[in-house]
Amino acid sequence: MLLKVLRKPNLLNFIIAPIILAILWIPAFIHPHLLENVLGEMPIYEGLKALTNNNPIVLNIIAYFLLIALSFLTVRLNERFFFMRVKTDLSAVLFVLIASGTVMLNGMHPALLALLFIFFSIENTLSIYHGNKTIEKSFNAGFFIGLAAMTYFFSYIYIIWFWITLFLQKEFKIREMLAALVGCIVPLFLIGSIYYLQDNLFLLWENIQVIFTSDITYSFDTKQWSYWAILSFFLLVSIIFTLQINDEQSIRSRKNVTILTVFLLVTILTFLINQYRGVGLYFFTVMPTTMFLSKYFILSRYSWLKEIFFISFIGVTIVVHLI
Q: Quick check: is 3 in a domain? A: no
Amino acid at site 149: A
Q: Quick check: is 202 in a domain? A: yes
Q: Quick check: is 1 in a domain? A: no
Q: Quick check: is 231 in a domain? A: yes
Q: Quick check: is 274 in a domain? A: yes
CB within 8 A of 310, min separation 6: which ones?
2, 3, 297
CB contact at 8 A, 155 and 109:
no
pLDDT tens digit string along 37-58? 555 678 888 889 889 988 889 9
Q: Quick check: is 4 in a domain? A: no
**Residue 179 structural domain:** 10-322
The Cα 240–Cα 245 span in angstroms is 9
The Cα 40–Cα 37 span in angstroms is 6
- The answer for 131, left when phi > 0, alpha when psi is -120 to 50, beta otherwise, is left
How confident is the chain (323 residues) per 10-residue block, as mean pLDDT? 68 81 88 64 86 90 93 84 69 90 84 93 84 85 94 90 82 82 92 80 70 62 84 89 69 77 90 73 90 84 78 85 75
Q: Quick check: is 5 in a domain? A: no
Q: How far is CA 262 from CA 92, 112, 162, 316, in A?
A: 22, 20, 10, 27
In b/e form, how buried is each residue of 279-302, taking b as 16+ CB within 10 angstroms? bbbbbbbbbbbbbbbbbbbbbbee
| Count of domains forming the chain | 1
Please name which of 159, 114, 160, 167 lies closest in space to residue 141, comparing C-alpha atoms: 159
pLDDT tens digit string along 185-241? 999 888 888 877 877 777 777 766 666 666 555 667 788 888 889 999 999 988 888
- The answer for 84, left when phi > 0, alpha when psi is -120 to 50, beta otherwise, is beta
Q: Quick check: is 54 in a domain? A: yes
